[in-house]
Each structure stands twice: as structure tokens, then as C-alpha cells.
Amino acid sequence: MASRRAGAKTYEQVGLAAWQATEKVNAELFTLTYGAIVRQVLADYEDCVPEANAKLDAMGRSIGGRLIEEFNAKNEQQRCVDFRDTCETIAGVALRMFLGVGGHCADWNADHTSCLVVMETNPLADFVELPERYRDLSYGQMLCGVIVGALEQVQTRATCEWEKDALRGGDGFAMRVTLVGQIDTPYPFDD
Amino acid sequence: MSAPPTPATLPEEPENPPGVHSVWIINKSGGLVFRDVYADIAPIDTNETLRLASMWHSMHAIAAQLGPELRGELPSETDGFHLHCAQTPTGTKLMLTCAPGTFADHDAGQAVLRTVRDLYADYVMKNPFYEAEMPIRCELFEKRLRDAIDAVNGAA
């Protein structure tokens, strides 16, 4: 499963190369900044957890829509051939490039439209313990939003939610990514 | 159609300076969001640039249907200038015009467009105050791009 196309590098190799070529920031600065954002969003929505989750998701979408250009610019790769290729690229290349973590796809459904993107670790959640009153907070929701927002810019409509969240008692971190449909390229003429 | 102009009324052919003449960025709906000029070429008024950009966008879409293997890297050559174009997977088009013979081959032109794209990803998309699909008014981007193109033109 590792090889992308005949003779091509594995997703993992591509991801590591992208990670090498990326400028780094201090991991704690990153993690603590994310924590500060989540706290601020909770404060803005007066501890209303569902609204805070939605806001984090929306912020993530905006980020994803911008970050996709960076991803494409730094990866000299062709378009993904199918959704399976897309998810493997997210798990193996994108997570490594932007977060420095490894990931893989698991638990595909029969028609390959939905899978779990399993993260080896989640740097966003280092140091975090969710207090009881925030037990429904999807702390890393922004990451789901980033994936959805980025896919949207490459004509792929998908949903993404945490299915396993160690902060909420899951074993590890994994996101369920599900294909909803392709967005047709708007041509300036009718066929 | 009006009568073709007599040769006497034709504007004088401007000098054709060597190197890259201009860089254009067209958003995914065919709107011109950026254009800058790097050589002493005949000026085009703004409405004309918008029209040309959307015309290219449409021609590009037709060409993509006829020859999908081009992946948006549609080149165009005239006696007066060459045009190199690249398209990001998000549908944004980057193009440049240059004097014929500026680039040894198609790939050399694409390499410069990759530089443009890298700068676009960094200084436009990561600028928190840039609104997607809107005209690009980012000084840092303009400056970095000018430096990059000047370097290309200086080396050529």
C-alpha cells in the first residue's frame, strides 16, 4: 500500500522530504499558541462548547484554503488520482510537512470513500487535559477544518471529524475523512 | 467591422526589449488579480488587461478540453512575444510574457513560473489580510517578485 504509483516514492518519503525542506518553528511555541487560540475562542463564545467547536472548524477552513497553495507549491506532484490517493497524501505527506508527525490511513469502507486518518501523535494536544466542563470540546477541530478547507480548493468536497480523540478518552488520535463529492470545475462556457 | 487602418496610421512598432516583460495572475473565475510589468513595453490600459485575462482564461479552458495532457502549461508563441502559463491545482493561473528566445525551452519558462508560484503561496496566500480571489495588493509580494524577475532578466 505504501507505493503511490509504479516507481514513485512512498507517501512517507515524500512527506519526509517536504518536512526537511520546510522552515520550522519551535514546537512548544506552536502548541502553546494553539492552546491560547482555543482558550480565546472559548472565552469569545462564553464557554459554549458547540459554538467554539464550530468556530475552530471555520478558522481551520480558512487556513486550509490558503495552505493548499503552499502544499502544492512545495510538492511537485501530479493531481491525486482518486480519493484513496488523496487521503494517503494527507496522512503521509501533509501531516508530516505541516506538523512533523507521521500518519496513515486505516479502516477504509468498501467503496473507498471514507477512511480513518490515524496520527501517530498530535502535537496540538501536548500538555492538554480537558476539564470536565469542556468534555465535549473538540480541541483539535481546527485541524479537521484545515483538511476540509484545503480539499475544497482542489474541487473535493469532504467531511472530517475526530473519531478517536485521546483528550476525550479515545485510544490515540484519528480523524474520519469522508468524500461527499467532487466540485465541478466552473468552465466559462457550456459543453 | 471598420475599414482596416492604413499602414500610415499604425502606431510605430515599439522596441522589443529582451527578457521577461510582464507577469499576470488570473483567479479561478477568470478575473485578473495581478499584473506587473518588468520591461519597457507598450502600455495596455487596465480594461484591456482585464479583457485579455478573461479571454486567455476561456481559451485555456477550451484547450484543456482538447488536450488535457497539457495540465494548464499551455504555451503560446507569436513573433512579438512568447507567453508561458501554468495552473495551480486550485485553478489559479500564472503567466508571463517575454521576448522570443528568453527561455531555452518550455521547462525553463515553467521554472520561472514555479518561482512566481512559491512567492504567491508565501506572500499572498499567507498574508492574513489578503482576501482570496481578490486583486493582489501586497507590497512584499510585488517587491520579491520584481527582485526575482530582475534576476532572471539580468542573467539572460
Q: What is the mean pLDDT of residues B77-102?
A: 90
Could B90 and A73 be called an inter-chain contact, meaning their C-beta atoms sit closer than 8 Å? no
Q: What is the mean pLDDT of residues A139-143?
A: 96
Band of the pLDDT at B60, cuts 50, 70, 90? confident
Q: How far is CA A141 from CA A43, A59, A148, A170, B91, in A?
A: 16, 9, 11, 15, 27
Pairing of strands A156-164, A173-182: antiparallel
Residue where the block lists cell 499551455: B74
B46 domain-assigned: yes
Instruction: Provide CB contacts within 8 A for A124, sequence distance 6+.
Output: A31, A34, A99, A139, A140, A142, A143
Beta bridge partners of B96: B23, B84
Tell me what pLDDT residue B156 has: 56
Could B125 and A69 be called an inter-chain contact, meaning their C-beta atoms sit closer than 8 Å? yes
- The domain spanning residue B64 has which CATH number? 3.30.450.70
Instruction: Provide CB contacts within 8 A for A177, sequence distance 6+.
Output: A87, A90, A114, A115, A116, A117, A147, A158, A159, A160
Residues of chain A above pLDDT 70, percent: 91
Give the model confidence (pLDDT) of A42-74 as tens digits: 999 999 999 999 999 999 999 999 999 999 988
Q: Report which of A78, A182, A167, A175 is spatially closest to residue B87, judged by C-alpha positions.
A: A78
B69 domain-assigned: yes
Q: Give the nearest chain B residue to A68 (CA atoms).
A: B90
Tell me what pLDDT residue A174 has: 96
pTM score of the predicted model: 0.84
Q: Report which of B140, B89, B138 is spatially closest to residue A65, judged by C-alpha positions.
A: B89
Instruction: Provide CB contacts within 8 A for A147, sequence distance 6+.
Output: A60, A64, A90, A94, A117, A158, A160, A175, A177
B8 domain-assigned: no
Q: Which range marks the domain in which residue B68 is found?
A: 16-155
Lowest mean pLDDT among A44-48, A132-136, B79-83: B79-83
B13's grid cell: 512598432
Domains of chain A by range and CATH? 11-182 (3.30.1380.20)
Could B120 and A70 be called an inter-chain contact, meaning their C-beta atoms sit closer than 8 Å? no
For the CA atoms of B43, A187, A66, A53, the dihedral, rounded to the nearest 10 degrees, stands at 150
Q: What is the mean pLDDT of residues A168-186?
A: 89
Q: Which residue has the higher pLDDT, B65 or A68?
A: A68
Q: What is the mean pLDDT of residues B53-67?
A: 85
Q: What is the mean pLDDT of residues A132-161?
A: 95
Pairing of strands B93-98, B82-87: antiparallel
Q: Which of A22, A37, A69 to mutate to test the interface with B (most CBs of B within 10 A)?
A: A69
With 80 as the cut, is the pLDDT of residue B128 above it?
yes
B99 domain-assigned: yes
With 80 as the cut, is the pLDDT of residue B79 above it?
yes
Tell me what pLDDT residue B116 has: 96
Which of A69, A189, A191 is the closest to B90 by Cβ?
A69
B96 domain-assigned: yes
Could B125 and A189 be called an inter-chain contact, meaning their C-beta atoms sit closer than 8 Å? no
Number of domains, chain B:
1
With 90 as the cut, is the pLDDT of residue A91 above it?
yes
Could A188 and B30 be called an inter-chain contact, meaning their C-beta atoms sit closer than 8 Å? yes
Q: What is the mean pLDDT of residues B90-113?
A: 91
B100 domain-assigned: yes
Answer yes or no: is the ipTM higher than 0.85: no
Give the model confidence (pLDDT) of A5-50 as tens digits: 545 688 888 899 889 988 898 999 999 999 999 999 999 999 999 9
B3 domain-assigned: no
B94 domain-assigned: yes
Q: Are the beta carbons of B102 and B23 closer than 8 angstroms?
A: no
Q: Which residue has the higher pLDDT, B132 or A184?
A: B132
